[in-house]
Amino acid sequence: MRARVLVKPKAGILDPQGQAVERALPALGFAGVRNVHVGRLIELDVEDPDRLPEMCERLLSNPLIEDYEIET
């Protein structure tokens, strides 16, 4: 089964990449953009999708500073 895991910084955690994108967009002519967050998308084929939360907690994300969403 193909699964997608979206990992992004938790609310309130400093996101320097998101801040850099937020500053750069107006300079490129894209006004009205706020609260930019940069995350990562992980796609994987898994035999047992019930184990995905464990994979996320142990390896794919840092649970102290990141949240994740699983799409199967």
Query: What confidence tens digit (pLDDT) does each residue in 11-24 have?
Result: 999 999 999 999 99
Please report the pLDDT score of residue 9 as a whole number. 94
Domain residue spans of the chain: 2-71
Query: How many angstroms separate the Cα of 16 from the Cα of each of 2, 39, 59, 60?
Result: 31, 11, 22, 20
**Dihedral sign (CA 23, 27, 28, 31):** positive
CATH number, span 2-71: 3.30.1280.10
Please report the pLDDT score of residue 48 as a whole number. 96
The pTM score is 0.84
Token pair 């990141």: residue? 66
Write phi, then psi, for 38 (nearest 5 degrees): -110, 130
| Strand order across the 2-9 sheet | 40-45, 2-9, 66-71
